[in-house]
Amino acid sequence: MNASRFFLGVLALGLVSCVSPKFERAWKASPQQRWSGRWYSEKHHAGGRLRAVLSDPEQGGIDAFFEAHWHGFTTAYPVKLEAQKQGAGYRLEGQKDLKSCVGGGLYQYKGTLFPGKFSAQYTASSDFGNFQLAPEH
């Protein structure tokens, strides 16, 4: 990787991390909808802290706002997840095109949401892994 491409990647990650104040406002404003845990890349054998603010399931969907920490950077992004009732919880699916020079691309999510646990798998052209979240108390 040449130096200019590396610099552009770092700059892009820095710009993506600028959205974190929006996440912090959503986090503070929604104490009953906060979830926290970890994500893990099975491809790269790395992971980090993950937080989310989830809306109540309404009309087949959940609005999720994620904040992921990795390699000293923070990125935050919203995702609309389709929700299908499954027993006491929901089966979730969604996707988000993350615009970034490093780790960007179309991410697809499949998971489940139950009263005490949110778990999902993600796939992208350059990565795949999972995450586990629990309600923040």
How would you label 24-46 residue by residue, b for 16+ Cβ within 10 Å and e otherwise? eebbeeeeebbbebebebeeeee
**Domain that includes residue 28, residue range:** 3-135
Q: How many domains does the chain have?
A: 1
Identify each DSSP E strand in 20-88 by its residue range. 34-41, 46-54, 61-70, 73-86
Contact 92, 109 (CB under 8 A): yes
Tens-digit pLDDT profile for residues 21-63: 999 999 999 999 999 999 999 999 999 999 999 998 877 899 9
pTM: 0.82
Percent of the residues in the chain that have a pLDDT greater than 90, as a whole number: 67
Domain of 104, CATH number, reads 2.40.128.120
Enter the tokens of residue 7.
């610099």
Please report how many Cα atoms fall inside a 13 Å half-sphere around the Cα of residue 34, on the Cβ side.
14
